[in-house]
Chain A
Amino acid sequence: EVQLVESGGLVVQPGGSLRLSCAASGFPFNDFSIHWVRQTPGKSLEWLCLINKRGDVTYYADSLRGRFTVSRDNSQNSVFLQMSSLETEDTAIYYCAKEMRGTQFVSFDYWGRGALVTVSS
Chain B
Amino acid sequence: QSALTQPASVSGYPGQSITISCTGTSNDIGLYNLVSWYQQHPGKAPKLLIYEVSKWPSGVSNRFSGSKSGNTASLTISGLQADDEADYYCCSKSLSHTGIVVFGGGTRLTVL
Contacts and interface: CB of A to CB of B under 8 A. Distances in A.
Most chain A beta-carbon neighbours within 10 Å: one of B45, B46, B47, B97 = B45
Interface stretch (B11-19, B75-83, B99-107): B99-107
Interface residues of B, number: 26
A50 B101 contact: yes
A121 interface: no
Contact of A107 (B45, B47, B51): B51
Interface stretch (A18-26, A41-49, A69-77): A41-49
A44 B57 contact: no
Contact of A109 (B35, B48, B101, B105): B48
A109 to B, nearest CB: 5
A97 to B, nearest CB: 8
Interface string A104-116: 1111110111100
A107 B97 CA distance: 20
B48 A108 contact: yes
Ranked nearest first, the 8 interchain pairs of A and B with the lowest CB-CB distance are A107-B51, A61-B99, A111-B45, A47-B101, A45-B103, A62-B98, A44-B106, A44-B105
